[in-house]
Amino acid sequence: MHIHRLEKIWLMFGFAMLVVFLVVLGIGAYAFGMGTPTSHHHSVDPSKVTETAPFDQPGIRHVEGSVYEANLIAYAFGYNPDKMEVPAGATVRFNVTSTDVVHGFQIPGTIVNFMVVPGEINHVEYTFDEPGEYLVLCNEYCGIGHEYMYTTIVVN
C-alpha cells in the first residue's frame, strides 16, 4: 500500500496535534488542581449512618433567618424523612447520603438533581420561592420498588 507524501505529512500533523492537546489537557487537569477532590468532600460509614450526626436525627431544622438544613437518608425504596415543610422563600441546605445502594435525588421543576452514593454526603442548596408541594424522586434505578421511592417538600 502506497501513501502519498502529503497524506503522510497531514497524518503526522494530526497525530502531533492530538498529542499536544492531551499534554495540555493533562497539565491543566493536574497541575492546576483539577485532579483533586474539592474541600466539600465528606464521607460517612454507610453501616453507621443512623448513628452518625446529623443523620442520627434526619429531618429539617431551622438554622437562622430563612435558612433551613435538611438531613436525609436514602434507603431501599424510600427517604427518611418522608415529608418536610418549609415557608416560602426558605433556602434549604440538603445533606443527603445512602445506606445501601446508589440512589438519585431530583426535585422536578428545579435545578436540584444529583446521585446519592453510599458513604458519601452530598450537599446542595436551593431556595424555594414558590409555595406548593415539591416531589423528590429517586432517578437512579435502585431495585424492584424503585418507582415507590419519593418524599415531599411542602412550601407554605
Determine if the pTM surpasses 0.85. no
Q: Residues 96, 146: one domain?
A: yes
Q: Residues 17, 51: one domain?
A: no
pLDDT of 121-153, one tens digit each?
999 999 999 999 999 999 999 889 899 999 999
Closest to 120 measured CA to CA, from 94, 98, 149: 98
Q: Residues 81, 51: one domain?
A: yes
pLDDT band at residue 33 under the 50/70/90 scheme: low
Q: Residues 32, 46: one domain?
A: no
Coil, strand, or helix at residue 57?
A: coil
Burial 99-136 (b: 16+ CB within 10 A, else e): bbbebbbbbeeeebebbbbbebbbebebebeeeeebeb
Q: Which residue has the cell 507524501?
A: 5
Q: Residues 67, 118: one domain?
A: yes
Range of the domain at 125: 42-155
Mean pLDDT calculated for residue range 75-95:
93
pLDDT, position 86: 95
pLDDT, position 119: 87
Give the total number of structural domains in the chain: 2
Q: Residues 9, 73: one domain?
A: no
pLDDT, position 69: 96
